[in-house]
């Protein structure tokens, strides 16, 4: 089979992968490229089919599980308000179970204490435990008097 037929097959499989996102057709497109190279070297149809089969099997057995594992992993960086959890902040206005104000990453945030019995005075350092909407739930870094 001529090498350009394998290239056409690879292009068709690659286009189909673009729409399905299964990682199967893309690996088969890569196998078709291997078969095109084998055909370009001058090896016969049987050798081309063997190269196609070996490349497809290697891709499906070795590459696809690794790719799927990487796709399923959570991103290493947190974004948005999730990135603020665990940060240190300074109390600007006294923080109680219902209200307060802290300075967090250069911005002022509404805050409330994680422990309903705590009253955290202005100037104290706190850790952000959660973010609920636009309110930070905080806990003091050190024991309060």
Q: What are the pLDDT digits (tens) for 124-133?
A: 999 999 999 8
**pLDDT above 80 for 76:** no
The mean pLDDT of 19-28, rounded to a whole number, is 90
pTM (two decimals): 0.53
Q: Which of 48, 52, 47 is nearest to 13 (CA)?
A: 52
pLDDT of residue 145: 62
pLDDT of residue 81: 79
pLDDT of residue 144: 67
The full DSSP string for 117-141 is: T--BPTT-EEEEEEEETTEEEEEES
Axis crossing angle, helix 25-41 with helix 45-58, rounded to the nearest 10 = 150
Q: pLDDT tens digits, residue range 87-108?
A: 999 999 999 999 999 999 889 9
- Structure tokens of 40? 């370009």
């Amino acid at each position: 089979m001529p090498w350009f037929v394998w290239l056409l097959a690879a292009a068709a499989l690659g286009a189909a992968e673009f729409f399905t996102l299964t990682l199967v057709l893309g690996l088969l497109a890569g196998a078709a490229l291997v078969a095109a190279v084998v055909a370009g070297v001058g090896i016969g149809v049987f050798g081309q089919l063997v190269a196609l089969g070996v490349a497809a099997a290697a891709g499906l057995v070795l590459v696809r599980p690794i790719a799927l594992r990487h796709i399923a992993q959570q991103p290493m960086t947190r974004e948005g308000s999730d990135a603020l959890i665990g940060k240190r902040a300074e109390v600007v206005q006294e923080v109680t179970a219902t209200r307060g104000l802290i300075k967090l990453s250069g911005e002022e945030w509404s805050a409330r204490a994680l422990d309903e019995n705590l009253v955290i005075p202005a100037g104290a350092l706190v850790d952000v435990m959660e973010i609920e909407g636009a309110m930070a739930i905080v806990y003091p870094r050190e024991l309060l008097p």
